[in-house]
Homo-oligomer: A and B are copies of this chain.
């Protein structure tokens, strides 16, 4: 007799599409780090590069464009000379911060486990 596929025991139907949707936003290379870096305030392009040394200009640029399109951050050009460009989290972007905090917390435990 074939095994029955048990109904998933969750109290309410889960929403995997929401999960997938949001994961798509934060799982691009360095996306989470960019958001994390912005959580304390606006940051310029080259500041982000020094915050996240291994990121290349190309990937940073790609990621910033993506995140802006998704409404997570805003880009605004300061009319200074030379003009500088500031990136900042939007309100929506700010809502990602608690999620990332939770992730960092688990990161700690994972590292403890890996190291001993």
Chain A residues at the B interface, C-beta cutoff of 8 Å: 3, 5-6, 8-11, 14-23, 25-27, 32-33, 36-37, 39-41, 43-44, 46-47, 50-52, 70-71, 80, 82, 84, 92, 95-96, 98-100, 102-111, 113
Contact = CB atoms under 8 A, between A and B. Distances in A.
A110 B19 contact: no
A71 B6 contact: no
A64 to B, nearest CB: 17
B21 A110 contact: yes
B96 A106 contact: yes
Given A19-B36, A71-B110, A99-B102, 16 more contacts: A8-B40, A8-B41, A8-B43, A8-B51, A14-B36, A15-B108, A16-B52, A20-B33, A20-B107, A21-B110, A23-B27, A23-B32, A92-B106, A92-B109, A95-B105, A99-B103
